[in-house]
A and B are shown apart, each in its own frame.
Chain A
Amino acid sequence: MSVLPEVGQIHSMVVCDEVTRTQIVQYAGVSGDFSPLHTDEPAARSAGKASIMGHGMMTMALSSRVVTSWFGIESLRTFSARFTAPVWPGDRLTTTATIAAVDIHGSCARVQITLKTTNDDGRLVLHGDAAVAIDFGSKPK
């Protein structure tokens, strides 16, 4: 458990070095989302896409690690994401978490976090937010 973060504090990490078609298919198998847009390149092309694309939920799962590695899974209270652009094979994904607010009530803090995941072109592929609860009274720091 970390000490209380400060507003404006940032954590950034590469959450995927390179998205591959294999990983997209792997996530399809895990999630049960076998949409042709994720699994069938010719079908994706005929639907006007450059190739198959990654699942939004795959990007969300990858992006979540910035928050869970910082605060732990059990601290998480809400997690939301908008999928703002497709993720393509070859993309390297970087997620940046920024502390937007820290509200303290007694020995509990509610921390609001803004999340942005971008590819190497700087294009935002996921824009999200999360809230974590930290009970800093009951745990040694």
Chain B
Amino acid sequence: MAFARAVGEPMPSPGRVVPPTFTATSIQHDPEHMRGMRPTGALAVAPVGGGKLLHAEQHFEYLLPVHLGDVLEVTEEYGRRWTRSSKRGGELLFTELVKELRNQHGAVVVRSRMVLVETPPTSASVDERPA
């Protein structure tokens, strides 16, 4: 319901198919996430030393519909890592986080791939705009 409110989806009802990006909120089911203000999962790799961690890309593959009430199990692992020179100097470090979600019947319902980019602490912001 809170998800629907935040992104303007219709209110959920039992058995309804969940919105396409809803499963990306699975970190909410990790009891350790944000305990003592410390994130787990992708956000736990936030860079030390003042660099910035941004979400560059997100990919979903839908194999079966996910219905409200389904119980999902997530496995996640790091995928490729690569670097690219930043236009503003320094190196951009890209990291992939690959997730597979299975439902209560053991069937894979969604595969997702998140690409995170870590920007160097010294680079000027590439996205400045007056507020």
Q: Which residues of A contact B (CB under 8 A)?
A: 15-16, 23, 26-27, 29-35, 37, 47-51, 53, 55-58, 60-62, 64-65, 67-68, 73-74, 76-83, 85-86, 88-90
- The answer to whether residues A56 and B39 also contact, given A31-B25, A74-B17, A74-B65 and a CB cut-off of 8 A, is no
Q: Is the interface of B mostly helix, strand, loop or mixed?
A: mixed
- Cβ A30 vs Cβ B25 within 8 A: yes
B24 at the interface (CB under 8 A from A): yes
User: What is the bound-complex CA distance between A79 and B18, given in angstroms?
Assistant: 14
**Nearest-neighbor residue (CB-CB) of B111 within chain A:** A78
Could you say which of A16, A32, A68, A86 contacts B19, with CB atoms under 8 Å apart? Answer: A68
B3 lies within 8 A of chain A by Cβ: yes
Q: Please name all residues of chain B whose beta carbon is closer than 8 Å to the beta carbon of A15 when the two chains form the complex.
A: 8
Taking CB atoms, residues of chain A closer than 8 Å to B9 are 61, 65
Could you list which residues of chain B lie within 8 angstroms of chain A, going by C-beta atoms? Answer: 2-3, 5-9, 17-22, 24-25, 27-28, 33-34, 39, 43, 46, 50, 52-62, 65, 124-125, 127-131
Which A residue sits closest to B53, measured CB to CB?
Answer: A35
Identify which of B52, B57, B124 contacts A37 (C-beta below 8 A).
B52
- How many angstroms from the CA of A23 to the CA of B8 in the assembled complex? 10
A31 near B53: Cβ-Cβ < 8 Å:
no
Q: How far is the CB of A62 from chain B (nearest CB, A)?
A: 6
Quick check: B7 and A58 within 8 Å, CB to CB?
yes
Closest 5 CB pairs of A and B: A48-B125, A61-B7, A56-B55, A80-B59, A32-B27
Return A120 CB to nearest CB of chain B, in Å.
12
List residues of chain A with CB within 8 A of the CB of B34: 32, 34
Q: A64-B19, A68-B19 are in contact. List 12 more A-B contacts (CB 8 A).
A: A26-B6, A30-B5, A32-B33, A47-B125, A48-B125, A57-B21, A61-B7, A79-B20, A80-B59, A81-B58, A81-B59, A89-B131
Residues of chain A within 8 A (CB-CB) of B128 are: 48-50
Q: Can you give 20 contacting A-B residue pairs, CB < 8 Å? A: A27-B7, A30-B5, A30-B7, A31-B28, A32-B25, A32-B33, A35-B46, A47-B52, A48-B125, A48-B128, A53-B127, A56-B56, A57-B24, A57-B55, A61-B6, A65-B7, A65-B9, A73-B17, A81-B58, A83-B56
